[in-house]
């Protein structure tokens, strides 16, 4: 799967990056490369959290 990200240069220096497909999935970095590396880590964390939440909902429905 591929997801798009949005990279914005900020006045204070560095870059803010987000993944619009996943609400709340944001990161930052001093360079574009660092920001992209960091959003990959944030993305993995967001997916893990969403997966855990989905499993809890599924368990509640079975009970």
**1: confidence class by pLDDT, cuts 50, 70, 90:** confident
CA distance 25 to 28: 11
Q: Which two tokens stand for residue 15?
A: 């870059």
Q: Within its chain, how far is the Cα of 55 from the centroid?
A: 19
CA distance 21 to 14: 23
Q: Tell me the per-residue pLDDT of 39-60, one tens digit each, with 9 for 90 and over.
A: 999 999 999 999 998 998 888 8
18-40 pLDDT, tens digit per residue, is 999 999 999 999 999 999 999 99
Ordered structural domains, the chain, with CATH: 6-62 (3.30.160.250)
pLDDT at 14: 97
pTM of the predicted model, to two decimals? 0.82
* Cβ pair 31, 15 in contact under 8 A: yes
pLDDT of residue 25: 96
pLDDT of residue 59: 84
């Amino acid at each position: 799967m591929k997801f798009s990200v949005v990279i914005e240069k900020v006045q204070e220096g560095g870059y803010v990056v987000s993944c619009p497909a996943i609400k709340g999935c944001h990161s930052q970095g001093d360079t574009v490369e660092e920001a992209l590396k960091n959003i990959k880590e944030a993305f993995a964390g967001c997916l893990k959290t969403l997966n855990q939440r989905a499993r809890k909902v599924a368990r509640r429905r079975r009970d």
